[in-house]
A and B are shown apart, each in its own frame.
Chain A
Amino acid sequence: MIAPGTRVRVRDDWPETRGPCHIRTPHYLRGETGTVTRHLGDFPNPEDLAFDRPAPRLPLYHVQFDIRRLWADGTPGADLLVEVFEPWLEVTS
């Protein structure tokens, strides 16, 4: 389990380039660093559900990002909360 306040990096991985897939981690977060704010619960992996495969439950987190770090022309001061599954996160601190 990743504790709230932990700095995490979203994996810079592109399953889209390797064939049919279904991913709920938006492209704009790949390789970006944010902060876990909350464990939202454990949910079946949508990447498996989409292919009707047995889907293990995975921890799901709310991760906070600074919009200006994602886009230089983003709204100043605004931040972004996104639900991300644990296998997509690497603890950096």
Chain B
Amino acid sequence: MTEAADKDVPRAMHDMGGVSRYMCEPIDKEPHELTDFDREVDAIRQILGMKGVMSVDELRRGIEALPEADYLRLSYYERWLQAITATLLRKGVIAEAELQAVLGAAP
């Protein structure tokens, strides 16, 4: 199947249903255990949702806003962490200066 078989449309990157370039790509069926990092990001996202700090749709919007190269480079939960942080910054839940101060401090 060729790229030419795709509808000639302004598709967003995450909107993957039926996209030709993936049609011949095998599916990786290996389990890939989650890491502690993955579990913590997942839990934080749930807590922020339950407390009304940010919705799952805001998370998705944040993931969809990632530049394509970053979307493809980052792992699944790294995308989530990027989207969560960007959303909290935009909503003023945390401030850019605060974040930079913490990141600048010794690890």
Residues of A that sit less than 8 Å from B by CB: 14, 16-17, 20, 22-23, 26-28, 30, 46, 49-52, 70-74
Contact = CB atoms under 8 A, between A and B. Distances in A.
Interface of B: 1, 5, 7, 9-12, 15, 17-18, 54-55, 57-58, 60-61, 64-65, 91
Given A22-B64, A73-B1, A52 B15 contact: no
B60 A22 contact: yes
B11 A16 contact: yes
A27 B20 CA distance: 13
Would you list the 6 A-B pairs with minimal beta carbon distance, nearest first?
Answer: A49-B57, A50-B61, A50-B57, A22-B61, A27-B11, A46-B57
B58 A26 contact: no
B65 to A, nearest CB: 7
B40 to A, nearest CB: 24
Contacts of B61: 20, 22, 50-51
Given A14-B9, A20-B65, A73-B1, A26 B15 contact: yes
A22, A30, A74: residue with the most chain B Cβ atoms closer than 10 Å: A22
Contact of B10 (A16, A20, A52): A16
